[in-house]
């Protein structure tokens, strides 16, 4: 919900919006969850004695997707070298398997 609008005018009032006519009784709050409808109501704000209360979003923000967790210990050394080379890590052909796993986990945070 974006805002709550209340009719502080006299009696029932009709407001044309992009989703259709909205009828508001006096002092009846109406919740708005569409930015376009909110803009439509703001046109009438001064002349028709409307009150607006901007509300915090009621829907939680979408969580940031996490990188998939990878268990590098099951990979062969050649596979780890290929992964590290694709990620731009230098000197992968001189490293041991343990060192490759450590670098991949530290730099890219993808171990379990």
Higher pLDDT, 97 or 12: 97
Confidence category of residue 76, pLDDT binned at 50, 70, 90 = very high
pLDDT-derived band of residue 77, with 50, 70 and 90 as boundaries? very high
The pTM for the full model equals 0.40
Residue span of the structural domain in which 87 resides: 72-108
pLDDT over 50 (residue 111): no
Give how many domains the chain has, as a whole number. Answer: 2
**CA distance readout (Å), 61 to 47, 56, 57:** 35, 11, 9
In a domain, residue 94? The reply is yes
The span from the CA of 87 to the CA of 108, in Å, is 9
- Determine, yes or no, domain membership for 61: no
Q: At which of 54, 81, 96 does a domain end? A: 54
């Amino acid at each position: 919900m974006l805002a709550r609008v209340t009719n502080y005018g006299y009696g029932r009032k009709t407001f044309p919006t992009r989703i259709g006519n909205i009828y508001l009784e006096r002092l009846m709050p109406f919740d708005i969850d569409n930015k376009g409808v909110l803009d439509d109501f703001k046109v009438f704000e001064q002349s028709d004695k409307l009150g607006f209360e901007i509300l915090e979003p009621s829907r939680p923000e979408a969580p940031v997707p996490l990188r998939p967790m990878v268990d590098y210990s099951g990979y062969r050394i050649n596979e780890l070298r290929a992964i590290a080379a694709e990620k731009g890590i230098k000197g992968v052909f001189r490293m041991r398997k343990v060192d490759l796993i450590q670098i991949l986990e530290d730099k890219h945070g993808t171990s379990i």
